[in-house]
Chain A
Amino acid sequence: MDSAKQIEHRAAAWLTRRDSGEWTETDEAGLRAWLEEATAHRIAYLRLEMVWSQSQRLKAYAAGLPPGSGERSDWTIPFFDSRQLMAGGDREVLSADAKDRTPDVVEQEKGTTRVGRGRVRVLAVAASVLLAAGVSYFGYRWYTGDPYATQVGVVASMSLQDGSNITLNTASKVRVDLNSRERHIELAQGEAFFAVAKDATRPFVVTAGTKRIVAVGTQFSVRRREDDVRVVVTEGKVRVDGVPGKPGEVLLAAGAIANIREDSVLLQKRAIAQTEEVLSWRTGYLSFRDTPLDQAIQEFNQYNRQKMVAGDSAVASIPLTGKFKATNYDAFVRLLEDGYGIRAQREGERITLSR
């Protein structure tokens, strides 16, 4: 057997070639032959490919930095410890900004044009990341109403200046506006979980279309699909305004799951542990408990570019129980094939499930 170093070098050469964008059929055949030659070759390639494909996820860290990272001459990825984030500095920034109202407005206009040009920044995985480029710099940006978004398959969380924390689910988008009267988050798309820092003088308001969800110090999530809004409360109380048929307000306590549609509202009371399960996406997992397959695949499809479709109603109603990694699409499909005798037919990005 050749030395591990030599083999790794050759594996890396293949992968680099493949990355060049000039990959031909001859190359593909050559690589296949090389991989077949020895198990050690295949393993060296697997190792490198695993990490190389993951390295693209670093994009999340570069969020908010211009391409080529012009703002950072040393090309290192900026990140802070969440502990550092909690340290004193933030408060000062906050008050400094409150004094400088005018620049905020200017910045807001700039922010809007930037979005107009199609540059929505992709949210950093830890918000701390954003702050690292200079606390004050991003400090006042938080007031501008800039959108923060996650791509398909990415779950990301960030801390706000007030100490609150937002976790964004896949393909979601929020606008953040912290001002002296209220902390306003607009959920433009998708789902977000909020851990709200107590501040009785400034309510924490999430708007999702026409619905307003108000909290003082609590933990809850809001999901928006078109005009359907789902609110899940895991701690404390929240108030929902704009609920159909309820001119006043609806109070939701911990354990509540509210599905609000244009003309109806469905309230469920669950054990707190169960509401946490509904929110397991925060750790990258999807939990199902006797969930019909078509609902489960709908959840999965949110995290992946490939889309599963239930071929018929018998398949659609198969109940599923378990906890799955949201982005591990292949494993899920394989489980359906092996465990449920389901046939998965692939056509491009569409996978049809049938028996």
Chain B
Amino acid sequence: MTDSLDDWFRREILVYEASLTRYLHRAWRHSQDVADLRQEIYVKVYEAAATARPQSPKSFLFTTAQHLVISRFRRTRVVSIESVGDFDDLSVSQEELSPERRLDARQQLRRLAEVMNRLPPKCRQVIWLRRIDELPQKEVAERLGISVRTVESHILKGMRLLTEGFLGQGTAAALDDETHKSDKENEHGQR
């Protein structure tokens, strides 16, 4: 049963991650909180769905998001003089609720490739050898003359960046940011 709940979550919720992330960035100005907010929303949706699957997963997701943002907003902004504009931003727009243009398999793959190309070079090389050439981690390390631990750290980084780029494509800037950072980290951290 949990397995099919996982499938449901992937199919009906995670596919909207890009829209959800965009919404959160718009409604909640502190972008460093967005990942945490998103996590909290996902947890609420997942746990609610464990009891009963919502009829319309997408609107349930965005309603949950909106409630959370509003409650946060109330909690943090104790001073009650707010500009009207701020409240407007909390609403879920028509665009977010309109049916998502689901990508076909080819478009998905293409997006994946674009994200792959934005990975830091070393990281991309490791992912390439592991996923495209299907070499085991050990052989990847031998091929590149680096330690298995370093390969692991590239894979760990790579899967996070691929995930963020692929699911939350709206956050390209954040990814590029991380990409830079991680390249530097790796230059220092290796060998």
Contact = CB atoms under 8 A, between A and B. Distances in A.
A39 B45 CA distance: 10
B98 to A, nearest CB: 21
Interface stretch (B67-75, B87-95, B160-168, B179-187): B160-168
Interface stretch (A48-56, A101-109, A215-223): A48-56
Interface residues of B, number: 52
Contact of A74 (B10, B121, B136, B138): B121
B82 interface: no
Given A16-B152, A16-B155, A284-B104, A40 B43 contact: yes
Interface stretch (A58-66, A113-121, A225-233): A58-66
Contacts of B109: 57-58, 60-61, 125
B18 interface: no
A20 interface: yes
A1 B167 contact: no
Interface residues of A, number: 55
A177 to B, nearest CB: 25
A8 B116 contact: no
A45 to B, nearest CB: 9
13 contacts: A1-B39, A7-B39, A8-B35, A13-B156, A15-B159, A20-B137, A38-B43, A40-B43, A55-B159, A56-B131, A61-B109, A79-B110, A79-B113
Interface of A: 1, 3-5, 7-9, 12-13, 15-17, 19-21, 38-40, 42-44, 46-48, 50-52, 54-62, 67-69, 74-77, 79, 125-126, 155-157, 283-284, 327, 330-331, 334
Interface of B: 4, 6-7, 9-11, 14, 17, 35-36, 38-40, 42-43, 46-47, 104-106, 108-110, 112-113, 116-117, 121, 124-125, 127-134, 136-138, 143, 152, 155-157, 159-160, 162-163, 166-167
